[in-house]
């Protein structure tokens, strides 16, 4: 485990009250853990805003499967970006709708382009791209993963 460093934070009372209220609703047991998560969130947001950053992402969307040619377009787009796609999950939601989740990795600008193209197709009713990156992503080039057997 990494060494923890203690430091003091000054804040207006009402801002702190609002913060405490928010984090207790979110289930945090102390301020330190909440602040660590906020800092990590901000760092991921900053990193993934760089176009060349290697990111991981999940694109979730619902579409109307009766829409003419839509499934063909969705499939063509996924083949176009096959190198970035880790996996696709398809769920038949009801008679009319399908849900898909595409797990992605690659350069941030490529992933965002794919998502924008896909979500703009007629018949894709709602969708969202969620992006993350590992804390070590800036050391990616020298970093190797060791999986326990």
Interface contacts to Ni ion, rule CB under 5 A: 92, 98
Residue 65 beta carbon to Ni ion: minimum distance, rounded to whole angstroms: 5
Residue 138 beta carbon to Ni ion: minimum distance, rounded to whole angstroms: 39
Q: How far is 69 from 114, CA to CA, in rounded Å?
A: 18
Residue 98 beta carbon to Ni ion: minimum distance, rounded to whole angstroms: 3
Residue 72 beta carbon to Ni ion: minimum distance, rounded to whole angstroms: 14
CA distances to 16, 69, 146 from 133, in Å: 29, 34, 18
Residue with structure tokens 């880790």?
86
Q: How far is 148 from 143, CA to CA, in rounded Å?
A: 16
Residue 6 beta carbon to Ni ion: minimum distance, rounded to whole angstroms: 53
When the beta carbons of 65 and 112 are compared against Ni ion, the nearer one is 65
When the beta carbons of 3 and 72 are compared against Ni ion, the nearer one is 72
When the beta carbons of 14 and 94 are compared against Ni ion, the nearer one is 94
Q: Which residue is nearest to Ni ion (CB)?
A: 98
**99 Cβ contact partners less than 8 Å away, ≥ 6 residues apart:** 60, 61, 62, 90, 91, 93
When the beta carbons of 92 and 128 are compared against Ni ion, the nearer one is 92
Q: How far is 132 from 56, CA to CA, in rounded Å?
A: 5
Q: Is the four-CA dihedral 41, 46, 50, 52 of positive or negative sign?
A: negative
When the beta carbons of 16 and 93 are compared against Ni ion, the nearer one is 93
């Amino acid at each position: 485990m990494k060494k923890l460093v203690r430091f003091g934070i000054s804040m207006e009372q009402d801002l702190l009250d609002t913060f405490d209220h928010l984090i207790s609703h979110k289930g945090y047991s102390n301020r330190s853990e909440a602040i660590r998560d906020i800092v990590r969130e901000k760092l991921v947001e900053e990193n993934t805003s760089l176009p060349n950053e290697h990111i991981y992402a999940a694109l979730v969307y619902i579409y109307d499967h009766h829409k003419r040619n839509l499934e063909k377009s969705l499939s063509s787009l996924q083949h176009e970006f096959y190198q970035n796609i880790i996996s696709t999950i398809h769920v038949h939601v009801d008679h009319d709708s399908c849900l898909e989740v595409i797990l992605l990795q690659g350069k941030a600008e490529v992933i965002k382009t794919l998502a924008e193209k896909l979500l703009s197709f007629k018949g894709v009713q709602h969708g969202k791209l969620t992006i993350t990156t590992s804390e070590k992503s800036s050391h990616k080039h020298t970093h190797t993963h060791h999986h326990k057997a």
